[in-house]
Amino acid sequence: MCGIIGYTGPAAVKNILLEGLAQLEYRGYDSAGIAIAKDDGSIYIEKQTGQVANLKAICDQADDDGHCGIGHTRWATHGGVTRPNTHPHQVGRVTLIHNGIIENYHEIIEKFDLKDQLVSETDTEVAAALLNHFYDGDPEEAIRKAVQELEGSFAFCILFEGFTDRIFCIRNVSPLVASSTPEGSLVASDITAVIKYSKQYFVVPEYHLMVLYQDHIDLFDENGVKAEPEILEVNWDVESAQKMGFPHYMLKEIHEQPEAIIKTITPRLKNGLPCFEGEGIDDEFFKNFTNINVVACGTAMYAGMVGKAIIEPIVKVPVSVNIASEFRYSTPLIDKHTLTIVVSQSGETIDTLAALRLAKSCGSRVLAIVNVKGSSIARESDYVLYTHAGPEIAVASTKAYSVQLSVFYLLACKCALVRGIFDETKGREFIDNLYKCIDAISGVLEHKEIIEKAVEHLKDAEHAYYIGRGLDYAFSMEGALKLKEVSYVHAEAYAAGELKHGTIALIEEGIPVVAFATQDAVYNKTISNIREVKARNAYVILITKEDAEIPEGVCDLHLTVPIKDDLFTGLPTVVILQLIAYYTSIARGLNVDKPRNLAKSVTVE
Ligand code: F6R
């Protein structure tokens, strides 16, 4: 939610900010703006609604004067998508950008009588006015005083009049990373905007005051004592965050799945069996819990649904899957015998982070499945299993989901081994099956034509239904979400047997129903449910295993996944669903990488 970039150094800052904003645009694209401290000490501010390209178009005419500046791409929360609401906000001698939400901004306006200074509807401008109120020539003092008043989440980058060669930063919850490089100092919401300049960076610790100078960065803890940052290194390069010849990031990331899965599972195998010793997790850990509590949001939560469908029947421990935004305000029935698994691509989703903290406070141990190294969720969890998907830039999650599933497979296998449910032979067979999924995904990617046929029917639809039983139901949830978010076709997932309890009333002639029947144990039951919608003239797109015998007239289009074992049909099936969503979006002429109203990395409640 919102992208932040700041630079001070020997180079002209304007293009560094604009390029950085383009890299961060997936975090929000309602409007964008920059503030540059000119060499004469004045501050040049430019902002524009819409995407960063709009801002760039007007900034191109401006000269390159200025070596210190801040930039912001907005995902609107407080106040509409207007130019006045666009960051940076300037009040008096303070110019700032902000990611997060100041929850008590109304109270602050009243308490400090700031109303007359405000021209926007944003909470951010109130923070700028508050800083200006406290600023008497000492930026650090002003920040410390202001932060004591603020409730909520924030990552601020601030320019103070009189100190226009440096950037002052502070954060609570909302992410901020920084890097000191020979070409200057950088701060950003995430590493994608920094990697062009350095692979080394650090996560700004919460409530630490950071000052970026041209040639170094100073960091001070809450007591004003100088702190040493913990330097991290990214294990991917600048090309990973580019399209590499694909028309869109989403398509590129769909194609990256085989490699991402290999990178995620291979380093965690020892003698062909899962081993998490590298992550500091010994076998004992997997023996002791009595139940599992998965908490996540959106696609990551749907990965958890698949995790439940894999782990429960094998390991025979109850798995509950919870929506983090609900869980965080609930009274969970968990304790030290519960293993909480939090799942997050970004590692910054605020609801998931809050859920993690609640689980810990109940005594539960927390294991995180996270993609972004050093992220808040990774840092606060007891144990972390990083997924190695590389940067996911398209707003719709694809490769992050499949690597999350792969980790659930590894966990299921590990638990079964340490609890004596699998012997080593069975364990190796399980891992072999997981590897077969990778080939199956490559097979799906090579035969996309049939998917385009499905799209022919979906592209003009207003509604679509995804149905399946068991594991198939778990995949269908993710399939429906993908279609909704990138193509704006209203799609719902239903347990196939549940349709007749209400939803079947919505089925009418031609309505697309994507039906999954990859599970032998419920195959005939699912086929009966499909017949029920077919009898009401739905257009049925059926997905089965290759060897399934399809009764006459049960579907209009038949797609298959080249997998034999029911437990492993998920990964290739999901790739089909992602491609269906992608091509439907393209056929409808939409911006598939940046669907409306969305942002990656949801750092607000
Ligand atoms: C959908 C999507 C979202 C995220 C959700 C959680 O394609 O990307 O539903 O899965 O916002 O985000 P993370 O995984 O970063 O916690």
Check pLDDT > 80 for residue 357. yes
User: In this structure, how many other beta carbons lie within 10 angstroms of the beta carbon of residue 546?
Assistant: 11
Between CA 544 and CA 573 the distance in angstroms is 9
Cβ distance 594 to 26 under 8 Å? yes
Check pLDDT > 80 for residue 600. no
The pLDDT value recorded for residue 279 is 94
Between CA 513 and CA 396 the distance in angstroms is 22
Check pLDDT > 90 for residue 530. yes
**pLDDT tens readout for residues 372-429:** 988 889 999 999 999 999 999 999 999 999 999 999 999 999 999 999 999 999 999 9
DSSP 53-102: HHHHHHHTTS----SEEEEEEE--SSS-S-STTSSPEEETTEEEEEEEEE
State the closest ligand 1 atom to the C-alpha of 602, by its place in the atom list counted from 1.
11
- What are the φ/ψ torsions at residue 446 (nearest 5 degrees)? -80, -20
Which mutation among 321, 602, 603, 604 tests ligand 1's pocket best, with the greatest number of atoms within 8 A of CB?
Answer: 602
User: In this structure, how many other beta carbons lie within 10 angstroms of the beta carbon of residue 521?
Assistant: 12
Q: How confident is the model at residue 26 (pLDDT cuts 50, 70, 90)?
A: confident
278: buried, middle or exposed (CB in 10 Å: 19+, 13-18, 0-12)? Answer: exposed
Any idea which residues carry the catalytic annotation?
2, 600
- What are the φ/ψ torsions at residue 266 (nearest 5 degrees)? -60, -45
Q: How confident is the model at residue 77 (pLDDT cuts 50, 70, 90)?
A: confident
State the closest ligand 1 atom to the C-alpha of 352, by its place in the atom list counted from 1.
16
333: buried, middle or exposed (CB in 10 Å: 19+, 13-18, 0-12)? Answer: exposed
Please name the residue whose Cα sits nearest to atom 10 of ligand 1.
299
Q: How confident is the model at residue 338 (pLDDT cuts 50, 70, 90)?
A: very high
Q: How confident is the model at residue 41 (pLDDT cuts 50, 70, 90)?
A: confident
Could you tell me the maximum CA-CA distance found in the chain, to the nearest angstrom? 81
Please name the residue whose Cα sits nearest to atom 3 of ligand 1.
298
Q: How far is CA 112 from CA 30, 141, 580, in A?
A: 30, 17, 54
The pLDDT value recorded for residue 342 is 98
Check pLDDT > 90 for residue 537. yes
Which mutation among 346, 348, 393, 403 tests ligand 1's pocket best, with the greatest number of atoms within 8 A of CB?
Answer: 346
Q: How far is the CA of 450 from the centre of ligand 1 (A)?
A: 28
The pLDDT value recorded for residue 575 is 95
Check pLDDT > 90 for residue 481. yes
By C-alpha distance, which of 481, 536, 526 is closest to 503?
536
Strands 184-188, 177-181: pairing is antiparallel
Q: How confident is the model at residue 54 (pLDDT cuts 50, 70, 90)?
A: very high
Query: pTM for this structure?
Result: 0.86
The pLDDT value recorded for residue 33 is 97
**pLDDT tens readout for residues 453-477:** 899 999 999 999 999 999 999 999 9
Q: Which one is predicted more confidently, 99 or 29? A: 99
| Dihedral sign, Cα of residue 206, residue 171, residue 165, residue 140 | negative
**pLDDT tens readout for residues 279-334:** 999 999 999 899 999 999 999 999 999 999 999 999 999 999 999 999 999 999 99
Between CA 305 and CA 312 the distance in angstroms is 11
Between CA 580 and CA 576 the distance in angstroms is 6
The pLDDT value recorded for residue 446 is 85
Check pLDDT > 80 for residue 238. no
The pLDDT value recorded for residue 463 is 97
Around ligand 1, the residues with Cβ closer than 6 Å are: 297-300, 344-346, 349, 352, 396-397, 485, 601-602
Between CA 114 and CA 101 the distance in angstroms is 18
**pLDDT tens readout for residues 253-263:** 999 999 999 99
Q: How far is the CA of 64 from the centre of ligand 1 (A)?
A: 37
Cβ distance 372 to 346 under 8 Å? yes
Cβ distance 373 to 200 under 8 Å? no
Lowest pLDDT segment from 301-315, 328-342, 496-510: 496-510
State the closest ligand 1 atom to the C-alpha of 299, by its place in the atom list counted from 1.
10
The pLDDT value recorded for residue 60 is 84
Averaged pLDDT of the chain: 94
Please name the residue whose Cα sits nearest to atom 11 of ligand 1.
298
- Which secondary structure element, helix H or strand E, spans residue 405, and what is its range? helix 399-418
Percent of the chain predicted with pLDDT > 70:
99
The pLDDT value recorded for residue 449 is 80
**pLDDT tens readout for residues 182-227:** 999 999 998 889 999 999 999 999 999 999 999 999 999 999 999 9
Q: Which region, left, alpha or beta, applies to residue 56 given φ > 0 means left and ψ of -120 to 50 means alpha?
A: alpha
What three-state secondary structure class fits 344?
A: strand
